[in-house]
Structure 1
């Protein structure tokens, strides 16, 4: 996403507060004042992330391959997930139930992601400016 951002394309990932705030990775504002535009942003952010997480949960319950790290180029991973979503919709259209999620067996996932590395201060300022512009857009 950093490469995409640096190429000039403006899109964002939504992350929880455990992720570092980046221009391309927007996180909630934990100390937002009640009734403020920042609180509104955070509520919308959390609601959107929750919907995405529920969707991933449904897809993972139907397609076990999504429980592992997909070691492909990002474009190919996107096509795999898109295919899973299409197949899921076909299953739903034919009345096939969503499989119940199996309990986690406690094993670590295949190839866990690399830890995040701290980002330069300049990016933090840019990230804050991006978030402020998003908050202003939501006020309209």
Structure 2
């Protein structure tokens, strides 16, 4: 059974088009039909880009994050949080990372459209906030 992972106070998770569009998981419009949807897609892409770059930076610095972490979910969260804290310490001490192009985002499948309720809700978000 699916559970909402965020409350209903205008807090959403963003996903690429490989995920189903839900009330709590917003995905980009495949074929934007109006200006609201175009602006929504731009904001969605910019926000997701920042998050994906941040994850890419952490994965570059810490090899444990390259693959599946085979630990209990609570321990996995602690490992990821520890990597983020250590990364910040490295940044404060100006410890360099290997140079790589982090601007290239991975390609994502553009074929999953989601359920009707999620698609309608995404339209409301786009028209209300964008």
Q: Which stretch shows the higher mean deviation, 76-85 or 64-73?
A: 76-85
What are structure 2's unaligned runs of at least 5 residues? Answer: 101-111
Give the whole-Å Cα distance in 2 for the aligned partners of 1:27 and 1:17.
6
Q: Does structure 1 conserve the Cα–Cα contact (< 8 Å) formed by 2:21 and 2:115? A: yes
User: 1:39 offset after TM fit, Å?
Assistant: 0.8
What is residue 107 of structure 2 aligned with on the other side? none
What is residue 7 of structure 2 aligned with on the other side? 9
Shift of the 9–134 alpha-carbon distance from structure 1 to 2, 3 Å rule, reads same
What is residue 62 of structure 1 aligned with on the other side? 61
Q: Which has the higher contact order (CA 8 A, sep 6+)?
A: 2
User: 1:31 offset after TM fit, Å?
Assistant: 1.1
Give the whole-Å Cα distance in 1 for the aligned partners of 2:14 and 2:119.
14
What is residue 92 of structure 2 aligned with on the other side? 93
User: 1:48 offset after TM fit, Å?
Assistant: 0.8
Cα-Cα RMSD: 2.7
Q: Deviations over 1:92-140 (max 9, x none)?
A: 0001012245xxxxxxxxxxxxxxxx9xxxx72221233133224424x
Shift of the 33–133 alpha-carbon distance from structure 1 to 2, 3 Å rule, reads closer
The runs of at least 4 aligned residues of structure 1 exceeding 6 Å deviation read none
Q: TM-score, normalised by structure 2?
A: 0.73
Decide which of 119, 125, 129 is 2:120's aligned counterpart: 129
What are structure 1's unaligned runs of at least 5 residues? Answer: 102-117
Q: How many residues align?
A: 116
Q: Does structure 2 conserve the Cα–Cα contact (< 8 Å) formed by 1:60 and 1:66? A: yes
